Structure 1
């Protein structure tokens, strides 16, 4: 992967975390709560198809890179990411500081799969 610079962070994304809220009947309901927004670099990979609920479903993997800070360091696979311009929802599969230099967080994400 080529070196990422501030100029490459052209996309705008919103990150959400699922929180469980009491439904008033003794159960809990999961609700996505926005956490913060960041500029990002979205690198789409070759897409494919997978079987979900006995149907073929298209899946679009992507590497999404954001700047490292105290908030982005808390991102994990329980979160999701929304590209604000197109509204595309990505499920985060992994999130790590790949360079181990506290500059960028790289997330392996997929769109087109169940959240």
Structure 2
């Protein structure tokens, strides 16, 4: 597998954290709020059985790669990633730091509940 480069980070994504917000009637509700944004690369997964089965169910698993930073190292699987241009929302399923410590890969799914 070849080493990723910063030139591949073509997309602008936001990282949203789940928190509590006012519902306007004196109570609270769960809401996501943007914590930070950065550049990212999308790595579309090909072929295995689980990937094909997910696509048949309307889900889209893929890897979103970002530069490692103090912000991105603090992200957990209860956060979500949002494409700032299209508004697509990706739920984070797994987090894998790169061996070179320059990038972090987020295994995400689009089209599923958090």
Into which bin does the TM-score normalised by the smaller protein fall? 0.7 to 0.9
Output the aligned Cα RMSD. 1.9
Q: State the partner residue of 2:31.
A: 31
1:40-51 residue pairs with structure 2 within 5 A? 40-46=40-46, 47-49=51-53
Check conservation: 1:13, 1:81, Cα contact below 8 A.
yes
- Where is the helix percentage greater, Structure 1 or Structure 2? 2
CA distance in 2, matches of 1:38, 1:19: 21
CA distance in 2, matches of 1:39, 1:61: 19
Shift in alpha-carbon separation, 1:88–1:49, aligned structure 2, 3 A: farther
Query: Per-residue displacement from partner, 1:58-115 (whole Å, max 9, x unpaired)?
Result: 010011110011111101100000111222110001113131x321111000001113
Most deviating of 90-99 and 59-68: 90-99
- Where is the strand percentage greater, Structure 1 or Structure 2? 1
Per the TM alignment, residue 22 of structure 1 is displaced from its structure 2 partner at its CA by: 5.8
Check conservation: 1:48, 1:60, Cα contact below 8 A.
no
Question: Gapped runs of 5+ residues in structure 2?
Answer: none
Per the TM alignment, residue 39 of structure 1 is displaced from its structure 2 partner at its CA by: 0.3
Question: Gapped runs of 5+ residues in structure 1?
Answer: 51-55
The TM-score with structure 2 as length reference comes to 0.82
The TM-score with structure 1 as length reference comes to 0.82
Q: State the partner residue of 1:108.
A: 107
